[in-house]
Amino acid sequence: MKQRLRVCVLGSTGSIGANTLDVIARHPERFEAVALTAHSRADELFQQCLRHRPRWACLPDPAAALDLQRRLREAGLSTEVLQGPAALEQLAAHPEVDAVMAAIVGAAGLSPCLAAARAGKRLMLANKEALVVGGAFFMRAVQAGGATLLPVDSEHSAIFQCLPEARARWPEVIDHLVLTASGGPFRQRDPDSLHAVTPDEACAHPNWIMGRKISVDSASMMNKGLELIEARWLFDLPPERLKVLIHPQSIVHSMVVCRDQSVLAQLGTPDMRVPIAYALSFPERIESGAAPLNLLDFAALQFEAPDLRRFPALALAWQALRGPEGSTAVLNAANEVAVASFLAGSLRFTGISELVARCLEQVLPAADEVGSVAGLLELDARTRAKAQELLGKP
Ligand SMILES: NC(=O)C1=CN([C@@H]2O[C@H](COP(=O)(O)OP(=O)(O)OC[C@H]3O[C@@H](n4cnc5c(N)ncnc54)[C@H](OP(=O)(O)O)[C@@H]3O)[C@@H](O)[C@H]2O)C=CC1
Ligand SMILES: CC(=O)[C@@H](O)[C@H](O)COP(=O)(O)O
Ligand SMILES: [Mn+2]
C-alpha cells in the first residue's frame, strides 16, 4: 500500500491553510495533516486539531501553547503542542514530515521555508514574500537541500501546469511569461479618490476570498509586483521576459508564450483548492472540490494593459526587480509595514506606495546582507525600522 503523504501546514488557520486542510480531508487515503501551526487564532487551531488529529500543533506564545495543550489533553488528543519560531523550523524539517505547505503570510515565513528547503522536503509555496526576500539565496537552499519546490500561487501554478515536467526543458520552451492580474477592487475607480478608500473596500476583492494582507496587495497591485519577482526565481527568467496583463474575470490564471509563439494557458474557476491540490498530488491530478468552469457564464474574457500611474506599487516592484540584489527584500519589508499601517487605519491607501518608494530610495542593501539568512533578516529589520521612522514623519 502507498504511504500517505505527511503534510505540515505552516499557517493552517489562514485562507490557504484552511483550503489545504479541505483538500487533505477529501483524500484521507493519500494525505495526513501531521503538523498544524498558527499565530494568533488559537481557538481555530484547536478546532482544526479536533478535526485533523495532527501529531504536532504550534503557537508562538508560550501561555497560549500551554493552554492549547491542556484543552487538547482534555479532549482526549495526544497532539503535542510546540511553541516559538524555532519550533516552526523544527517541524518544517522534521524527518516524519514529507511535505510542507508554506502558508504563513509575510517574511515571517522565510526561516521555516528555508528549513524545509534544506531538509529536502516537497515545499509547496504560497508564501510568496519568503521568495521575494530570499531570492537567489532561497533558490540555492532549494537546490542544495534537493527539495522539490512547487508553486501554489495561482499564476505560478498555472504556468507550472503549462510547462513540461522536466525542468531542464523549460528554457527551450519559454519565450516569455504573462502573469494575469484582476486589477483588484480599484481597477476602475477614480484615481483621485484612492486616498480615501477604507481597509474594507481594499479587501473586497472582486474574485478571490483571501487574507487581508494579500487582499490589500491585490488592490494596490503590489501583489502582482511580488508575483513578478516570484516568477523571476521560480522560472529563472530575467525581468524582460515577464509581462503583466489585467484580466478582470480571473479565469485565465496565467500564460506561457512559447518560442514558436504558441500560447499555453491554464483556466479554471477562481478557487485556490485547484493549485493546492496540484501541489499536493503532482505529477498526478486529484479532485479538488472546485466548481467546474462554464465558459458560457462569461459573455467575454477581457484583457488590458496595467496603468502604472494608477498602480505605482507595480512600477516599484519592477524597479526593485531590476535593482541591486536585496532591493526586493526592501520592497517587501516596506510594503508589509505600510499595509499593516493601512489596515490599522493609520496610513492612507495611497501612502502605501509612497512609503515603499521612500524606503527603496533610503535603504541600500549591503552586499554581505544577501548571502545569509541572518543578513536577509537584518536587511528586513533595517527596512522596517526605516519605514516606521518615516511613518512617524509626515
Ligand atoms: N489567500 C490566497 O488565496 C492566496 C494567498 N497567497 C499567499 O499565501 C500566504 C498566506 O496567505 P493567506 O492565507 O491569505 O493569509 P492569512 O492571513 O489568511 O493567513 C496567514 C497565516 O499565517 C499565520 N501567521 C501570521 N503571521 C505569522 C507569523 N508572524 N508567524 C507565524 N505564522 C503567522 C496566521 O496565523 P493566525 O491566523 O493564527 O494569526 C495564518 O495561519 C501569503 O503569503 C499570500 O500572499 C498566495 C496566493 C493566494
Ligand atoms: C489567488 C491568487 O493567486 C492571488 O494572488 C490572486 O492572484 C490575487 O488577485 P490579483 O490578480 O488581483 O492580484
Ligand atoms: Mn496570485
Average pLDDT over residues 203-210: 98
CA dist 33 and 22 (Å) reads 11
Give the model confidence (pLDDT) of 274-321 as tens digits. 999 999 999 999 999 999 999 999 989 999 999 999 999 999 999 999
Give the model confidence (pLDDT) of 136-180 as tens digits. 999 999 999 999 999 999 999 999 999 999 999 999 999 999 999
The residue ranges of every structural domain in the chain are 5-151
For residue 221, which atom of ligand 2 is closest to its CA? 13
Contact call for residues 177 and 243 (beta carbons, < 8 A): yes
Closest to 145 in 3D by CA, of 114, 124, 118, 122: 118
For residue 42, which atom of ligand 1 is closest to its CA? 38
Contact call for residues 231 and 253 (beta carbons, < 8 A): no
Cβ–ligand 2 distance for 24 under 6 Å, the answer no
Cβ–ligand 2 distance for 204 under 6 Å, the answer no
For residue 210, which atom of ligand 2 is closest to its CA? 1
Closest to 198 in 3D by CA, of 216, 183, 225: 216
Residue 1: what pLDDT? 67
Grade residue 85 by pLDDT with cuts at 50, 70 and 90: confident
> How many Cα atoms sit within 13 Å of 83 on the Cβ side?
10
Is 393 a residue whose pLDDT tops 80? Answer: no
Residue 90: what pLDDT? 98
Give the model confidence (pLDDT) of 29-80 as tens digits. 999 999 999 999 999 999 999 999 999 999 999 999 999 999 999 999 999 9
79 carries a ligand binding annotation: no
Cβ–ligand 1 distance for 64 under 6 Å, the answer no
394: CA distance to ligand 1 center in Å? 30
15 carries a ligand binding annotation: yes
Give the model confidence (pLDDT) of 213-269 as tens digits. 999 999 999 999 999 999 999 999 999 999 999 999 999 999 999 999 999 999 999
Is 346 a residue whose pLDDT tops 90? Answer: yes
SS (H, E, C) the chain: CCCCEEEEEECCCCHHHHHHHHHHHHCCCCEEEEEEECCCCHHHHHHHHHHHCCCEEEECCHHHHHHHHHHHHHCCCCCEEEECHHHHHHHHCCCCCCEEEECCCCHHHHHHHHHHHHCCCEEEECCHHHHHHHHHHHHHHHHHHCCEEEECCHHHHHHHHHCCCCHHHHHHHEEEEEEEECCCCCCCCCHHHHHHCCHHHHHCCCCCCCCHHHHHHHHHCHHHHHHHHHHHHHCCCCHHHEEEEECCCCCEEEEEEECCCCEEEEECCCCCHHHHHHHHHCCCCCCCCCCCCCHHHCCCCCCECCCCCCCHHHHHHHHHHHCCCCHHHHHHHHHHHHHHHHHCCCCCHHHHHHHHHHHHHHCCCCHHHCCCHHHHHHHHHHHHHHHHHHHHCC
Q: How many CB atoms lie within 10 A of CB 302?
A: 11
DSSP bridge partners of 226 = none
Give the ipTM: 0.99
CA dist 212 and 203 (Å) reads 6
Average pLDDT over residues 365-375: 96
For residue 223, which atom of ligand 2 is closest to its CA? 13
5-151 is classed CATH 3.30.565.10: no
Is 351 a residue whose pLDDT tops 90? Answer: yes
Cβ–ligand 1 distance for 211 under 6 Å, the answer yes
Contact call for residues 247 and 301 (beta carbons, < 8 A): yes
Grade residue 394 by pLDDT with cuts at 50, 70 and 90: low
Ligand nearest to the CA of 223: 2
Average pLDDT over residues 1-9: 92
Is 21 a residue whose pLDDT tops 70? Answer: yes
Cβ–ligand 1 distance for 126 under 6 Å, the answer yes
Cβ–ligand 1 distance for 17 under 6 Å, the answer yes
Question: 31 — phi, psi (to 5°)?
Answer: -130, 150
224 carries a ligand binding annotation: yes
CA angle 83, 87, 92 (to 5 degrees): 140
219: CA distance to ligand 2 center in Å? 10
Contact call for residues 119 and 98 (beta carbons, < 8 A): no
Q: What is the mean pLDDT of the chain?
A: 97
125: CA distance to ligand 3 center in Å? 11
Residues 6+ apart with CB under 8 A from 188: none
Average pLDDT over residues 128-141: 98
How many percent of the chain have pLDDT more than 90?
98
pTM higher than 0.80: yes
Q: How many CB atoms lie within 10 A of CB 343?
A: 17
223 carries a ligand binding annotation: yes
